[in-house]
A and B are shown apart, each in its own frame.
Chain A
Amino acid sequence: MESRRQIGERVRRTEDARLLTGRALFVDDVRLDGMLHVAFLRSQHAHARLTGMDATAARARPGVVAVYTAADLGDYWRPGPLLVPPPPIAGLVFNACTQVPLAKEKLRHVGEPIAMVVAESRYLAEDALDDIVVEAEPLPAVVDLEAALAKGAPRVHEHLPSNVAAHAVQRKGDYARAKQRAHTVIKRRFRYDRGASAAIENRAVAAQWDPRAEELTVWDTTQAPIPIRNGLAQLLGLLESQVRVVAPFVGGGFGPKIMMYYPEEVLVPWAAMKLGRPVKWTEDRQENFFATTQERGQIHDAEITLDQSGKILGVRDVFLHDTGAYDPYGLTVPINSQCTLLGPYEIPNYESEFTAVFTNKTIVTPVRGAGRQHGVFVIERLLDFAAKELGIDRAEIRRRNLLRRDQFPFNNEILFQDSAPLTYDSGDYEPALDQALELIDYHRFVREEQPRLRAAGRHVGIGIVCYVEGTGIGPYEGARVTVEPGGRVRLATGVGTQGQGHFTAFAQIVAEVLGVDVADVHVITGDTREFHWGTGTFASRGAVVAGSACQAAALRVREKILELASQELEASKADLVLAGGSVHVRGDPSAGITLGALAVKANPLRGAVRPGTEPGLEATAYFGPDRGSTASGVHAMLVEVR
C-alpha cells in the first residue's frame, strides 16, 4: 500500500507557470468598472497636535468623489484590536495602545494617515492631497529609546504616565548566585537598529460591494485573509459569510502584511460600501517606508558568566525595545528576542528583563525573524568575546555549551510567544556544528589560509554562529481535499501565500498520500470563499501546521477511496494499492479503477445509498500542535573587507 515518496523530492514548482507568464493575480491587477482610487494624506510630523483641518477645497476639486477625515468616520472610527495579547508572565506591565484609522487629535509618527481622498484616478487623488489644509502644532519627538524613558520626556500617549509600553522579566535558575561562582564575567552593550522589510509588491486593498448578492469582496495583500474577513464583518455589521477576502498571489509578506488592521484595510472596504463603487488603494514605495510596519530597534545591556573551561554559568540581559507609536502586536517581538537568546546552549541561569518603549516612529510588528536575531546577536557576540578572553577557539566554546542529544525535549522554563513554555522538541546540535565547520573548512582556514592571506595584506575573516528557531506554532489550520470526477485533486486551505512555494509543498504532501502526480493537485489558498477557518501565514508555520492539516485531510480521503475501491474491486483494503491516480489490487496493476471513476461512483445521481453515506471523495481536517516545533541551524561564512 506504499505510495511513491513525494515530500522533499525535487519537483517543478506548480505555481511558476502562472507567475512567470504574468497570469497570476495580484491585488493591483484587480480592475473593475467604475473603480475609484485612493490617496492618503499622511503626517509629515513625527509628533504633533492636530488642531484643525479643512478639506473643503479638496472636496470641490473635479474628479474627487469623497474626502474622509476622522470626524467623517463617525462610529466607524475606533482603535484597532490588540492582536496578540501578551503571555501570562508574572509581574508583567503592558499598556495597549493600538493604531487608529485616521488621526484625530494627535499625530504620532510620520506617515500616519490623516485623511483619505477617493477620486476617479490616483493622479487626481494625489492632486487633492495638496488642497487639504492641516493645522498641526509640532511637539518634541520621542526618538531615542533611552531619552524616551528620561524624566520629563515628551509622551507619545499622554494618558500614560510614561513612554513605557511594557515591562517584563523572565527568569530561570538564580543568576546572582551563578555569578558568584564565575571565573569570567563579560558585559557589553549591543545595538540592533531599525530596519524595514521591502516586499516587491507593496500593500494593496481593493473592495467591491455587490448590492444584489449583498456581498462584500475584498482583495488584500494580507498574510491573514480569514481574520481580516472576520474582523471586517464585525466592523461593518455584516455576517462573516457576506464578506469574501481574497489574498491572491502576494509579492512578499515578511511579517508586516499580517498587521491587523491597517487603516487602509478598514477604510477602503468601508468607502466601497458607502460610495457604492469599487475602490482600490495601492501603496507606493514612498508610503511603504513609513506606513508599513517595521522592526528591529533594540538596545541590550548583557552579561555572561562562565567557568574557566568556557561553560556558561548564566546570562543576564536587560534591554529596551522600540515598539513605535502603537503596540497592536503585543510583545511577540521582544519575547522572541528573550527566548531566542538561549539558542542551542545549556544556560542554567538566565535573567532577562525588557522594557518596550513607545516612540514617534512607524509601528513595530514582527518582520522576518521577529526579534529572534537580536537574541542570537547578543549570545553569539558574548560567546565570541568570552572565547577571546579565555583563549578558547570560537567553534570550541560553542561546542562545549551545546545541548546534548539526550536532553530533549528540553524545557527552557520561560514562556514563548505562544504562551507555552519554551520547550525544544528535538534536536542534535553537535553534528550540525561539525558539518558546518567541515563545509567551510574552518580549521584549515584558521590554521593555514588566514595567516597566508594576512601576510599578503588581505583582510579575510571567518564566522560561525549557531541558533535555534521557534517555528510552527498554533493555534490551528485546516484543509479540504476533494477528488474531482476528472481524477484531479483539489486542495483548499486557509493560509495565504506570499511566494513560499506553498502550492507545490502542499501538493507534494497530498500527492504522496493519494498516489497522484504533484501536477494533478490543484491548490487554492487565501480565498475565504474556498476555506474559511484558519489564522494566517506567520512564524514558519505553513508546512508544519497547514501542511499537517493537508496530510490529515488527504488521509481521510484516502480512507474513503480505499473503502469504495474495496467494494468495487471486491478486495480487502489491505490488498489495495494507490498509485498513478488509480487503485488496483496488489499484484494486478492492469485491473484497477481510476480515482476519477471512484469519485463519480461516490456521487450517484439516482438510486439509494446506505444511510450515513457522505457524498464524494472529500474530507476536511484540522491540525493544531500543542506548541511550536524548534528548528536549529549553524551558519558559517567567509568575508573579505577591502
Chain B
Amino acid sequence: MKPARFDYFAPGTVDEALALLAEHGDQAKPLAGGQSLIPAMNFRLARPQVLVDLNQVAALSYIRANGSGLAIGAMTRQRAVERSDLVARAAPLLAEAMPSIAHPQIRNRGTVGGSLAHADPSAELPAVALALETRFRAKSATGERWIPAGEFFKGMLETALEPGELLVEIAIPPLPARSGTAFLEMARRHGDYALVGVAAVVTLEANGRCQAARVALLSVGDGPVLASEAATVLAGQAPSAELARAAGERAASRDVDPPSDIHASAAYRRRLVAVLTRRALERAFERAEKGSGEQGAVPSG
C-alpha cells in the first residue's frame, strides 16, 4: 500500500497550477484534500505520473455571498462549509448534508471541489449540487467556462472536466421564496458511505401547492440521480403525507435502478429510496410552509 512513483508540484497560484496541468495533460492529477486520491494511489488503483498539489493555492479557498446565492472556492475545506453561517443561511441543504460526509478528521482535509470533481456516486456533495442547480466554474490555461450541474456529472467517477481543466468555484443560486429543503441518508453507521441518500428541494406556490421539486439521490447509480418522475408526481399538488409517500414510491420504482453490492441489495436500496424520499419531502414541505427564512436552523436527522 505504497504509491507508485510520481512527480510532485505545489504551485502557489491558479495560473501556475493551470500551466502545470496544461504541460502534463492527462498524466497529471490535481491534488485537493487527498481523501480519495491518496488512498487510491496507495492501492495503486490510481497512478498519476504528476501530482499538482493545490493546497498552497490560497486564492481557491473562500465562501462568498453571490447576490443572494453563494460562491464557494474549490479548495474550501468541507469543515469550513459545515461551520459557515453564510452557508447555513443561503444554502441550508448544503449545511444539513455536511455532517454526513465521513468524519470530522476527513472534513478537515477534504475539500468541496475535490469531492465534486471526484464524482463518487455515494458522495453527498454531488447530489446536493444537483438538487440545488449548482453551476461549476472550470478554468484551463486557455480560458474558462461554466458547467451546469446536470451536465457536470458524467458517470462513475467521471465529470465533464477535460484534461488541463480545473474546477475552481461553484455557484449556488438562491432559492425562490416559499422553498424548503432536506437532506437524509442511511449509512451502516454515521460517517460511513451512504447506502442511499436524498437531497430534496421544494418550492410552494402562494396557494400552498407545490410549484417545483428537485429530488437528487445518491448511492443508487453511476452518479447523483435526479428523481424527475417523483417531481412530476409533486408538481401542482397540495403537500400531504400521502403525496410524499406517492412521490417516494414513484422515485423508487421509476427513477432509480440501484445496484446490489456487499452492503445492500437492490431491493433494500429501492425501499430506502421510497422511505427516505418520503421523509425528506415531508420535512422539506414543512420547512417551506414555515417560510424559507427559518429553515437555516440546524435540523437533526
- Chain A interface (Cβ < 8 Å from any Cβ of B): 122-123, 126-127, 284-286
Contacts and interface: CB of A to CB of B under 8 A. Distances in A.
B5 interface: yes
A123 B2 contact: yes
Contacts of B1: 126, 284-286
B137 to A, nearest CB: 37
Most chain A CB inside 10 Å of its own CB: which residue of B1, B5, B44: B1
13 contacts: A122-B2, A123-B2, A123-B3, A123-B5, A126-B1, A126-B2, A126-B44, A127-B4, A127-B5, A284-B1, A285-B1, A286-B1, A286-B43
Interface in B37-51: 43-44
Given A286-B1, A286-B43, 11 more contacts: A122-B2, A123-B2, A123-B3, A123-B5, A126-B1, A126-B2, A126-B44, A127-B4, A127-B5, A284-B1, A285-B1
A126 B4 CA distance: 8
Contacts of B3: 123
A285 B2 CA distance: 11
Interface string B1-44: 11111000000000000000000000000000000000000011
A127 B3 CA distance: 9
A285 B39 CA distance: 12
Nearest to A122: B2
Of all A-B residue pairs in the complex, the 4 with the closest CB atoms, nearest first, are A284-B1, A123-B2, A126-B2, A286-B1
Contacts of B43: 286
A126 B5 CA distance: 11
A284 B39 CA distance: 13
A321 B40 CA distance: 36
Contacts of A286: 1, 43
A497 B3 CA distance: 33
A75 B214 CA distance: 70
A202 to B, nearest CB: 10
Nearest to B1: A284
Nearest to B186: A642
Contacts of B4: 127
A127 B47 CA distance: 12
Nearest to A39: B2
Contacts of A284: 1
A42 to B, nearest CB: 12
A333 B43 CA distance: 33
A568 B51 CA distance: 76
Interface string B111-142: 00000000000000000000000000000000
Contacts of A285: 1
Contacts of B44: 126
B97 to A, nearest CB: 20
Contacts of B2: 122-123, 126
Interface in B82-118: none
B121 to A, nearest CB: 23
Interface in B184-217: none
A126 B2 CA distance: 7
A122 B4 CA distance: 11
A152 B44 CA distance: 39
Most chain A CB inside 10 Å of its own CB: which residue of B2, B3, B44: B2
Contacts of A127: 4-5
Nearest to A642: B186
A158 B213 CA distance: 63
